[in-house]
Amino acid sequence: MTVGYDGTRYSGWQVQPNGVTVQAKLEQGLVELTRETVRVTGSGRTDAGVHAIGQVASFSLANWRATDDDLRRALNSKLPPDIAVSRIEDAAEDFHAIRDAVGKRYRYQLQIGGVRDPFEHAFRWHVHAPVDVDAMRAASAHLVGRHDFASFQAAGADRKTTVRHVRAIDITETPTASGGTRSDAADVTSCCQYLTIEIEADGFLYNMVRNIAGTLLEVGRGKRTHEWVADVLAAKDRTVAGPTAPPHGLFLLWVQYPSTSVGVDHSSENRSSNR
């Protein structure tokens, strides 16, 4: 199934003993519908406060006899309004949402300048000072390709390998008058801009996207040169990179499997918001 959710009030994806999670809500809904014990496996564990447009999860049912779409509608009726299943489809018996994934794309969203937007603040990191977007793009170029991303892994995380292939980093900016008190769409220079950083890779380390976003912002703010990012990458040391961006600006866009990209929401590709 392909799932979207606003992660604001959840303690992340994975079931926890002392927190409300997205995985738990999905499993509870399936148990109510089927009276079976169902384990839902997500393509990855999003942290507390992180959102998804195209999270993919696999599960097995023994007794469901109606259609996949009937199951989707029935399950959505059991879910809270900030979680929605957009698609359910039959998969091969040995399909595994984590093991079979060959790529993912994340988006990190920021508001640069202006007054905090009350309709966007849960989905964008509000940065007050202006940033040099071209410098950020130059810095991001150092990260594209197959590299050891140990400098961008969360401190204390333990992975057998920290080598990943970043296929693309796309940074886009949209001037807007909706963020703040101005209503004149023609006058955007004194208001703010929406900035998005999208990163596609064959896999991600824990906090890798948020650490890259925080590092690129150091360049955008003029605190570092774009060449510094190459030095950070070569250091393989988390302490030399920039800060970790807060979780509420991060979205899992889609997950790729050998035959298809699952969870792509084409209707959202040109939006400045993913509410």
| pLDDT above 90: residue 246 | yes
More confident residue, 223 or 271: 223
The residue-averaged pLDDT of 252-259 equals 92
More confident residue, 119 or 152: 152
Which amino acid would we find at residue 72? Answer: R
The torsion angles phi and psi of 52, rounded to 5 degrees, stand at -145, 140
Over pLDDT 90: what percentage of the chain?
A: 77
The residue-averaged pLDDT of 65-83 equals 95
More confident residue, 191 or 121: 121
- Structural domain boundaries in the chain: 2-87, 103-257
CA-CA distance, 10 to 16, in Å (whole number)? Answer: 11
The residue-averaged pLDDT of 144-164 equals 90
271: how many CB neighbours lie within 10 A of its CB?
Answer: 12
154-161: which pairs have CB atoms within 8 A and are 24 or more residues apart?
154/205, 154/206, 154/207, 154/211, 154/238, 154/244, 155/238, 155/239, 157/205, 157/206, 157/207, 159/205, 159/206
CA-CA distance, 175 to 214, in Å (whole number)? Answer: 21
The DSSP letter of residue 47 is: P
More confident residue, 192 or 229: 229
Assess contact for 217 and 129: CB atoms under 8 A: no
Assess contact for 106 and 252: CB atoms under 8 A: yes
End-to-end Cα separation, the chain, in angstroms: 20
Residues 6+ apart with CB under 8 A from 260: none
Give 263's pLDDT tier (boundaries 50, 70, 90).
Answer: low
Reduced to 3 states, what is the DSSP secondary structure of residue 161?
A: coil
Give 187's pLDDT tier (boundaries 50, 70, 90).
Answer: very low
Our CA dihedral for 25, 31, 36, 41, rounded to 10 degrees, sits at -20
| pLDDT above 50: residue 274 | no
More confident residue, 226 or 184: 226
CA-CA distance, 258 to 255, in Å (whole number)? Answer: 10
Least confident segment among 28-37, 136-145, 153-162, 201-210: 153-162
* Strand 260-262 versus strand 250-257 pairing type: antiparallel
22: how many CB neighbours lie within 10 A of its CB?
Answer: 30
| pLDDT above 90: residue 68 | yes
The residue-averaged pLDDT of 25-43 equals 94
In 3D space, the residue among 255, 250, 263, 275 whose CA is nearest the CA of residue 50 turns out to be: 250
Decide if 2-87 and 103-257 have a common fold.
yes
CA-CA distance, 244 to 97, in Å (whole number)? Answer: 27
The residue-averaged pLDDT of 33-37 equals 91
Which residues are known catalytic residues?
Answer: 47
CATH topology (fold) of 103-257: Alpha-Beta Plaits (3.30.70)
131: how many CB neighbours lie within 10 A of its CB?
Answer: 21
Residue 217's pLDDT is what?
98
Give 4's pLDDT tier (boundaries 50, 70, 90).
Answer: very high
Please, what CATH class does the domain formed by 2-87 belong to? alpha beta
Residue 219's pLDDT is what?
98
Residue 156's pLDDT is what?
75
Residue 265's pLDDT is what?
44
pTM of the model: 0.89
The residue-averaged pLDDT of 119-124 equals 94
Residues 6+ apart with CB under 8 A from 175: 188, 189, 191, 192, 193, 194
Residue 116's pLDDT is what?
86
Mean pLDDT over the full length of the chain: 89
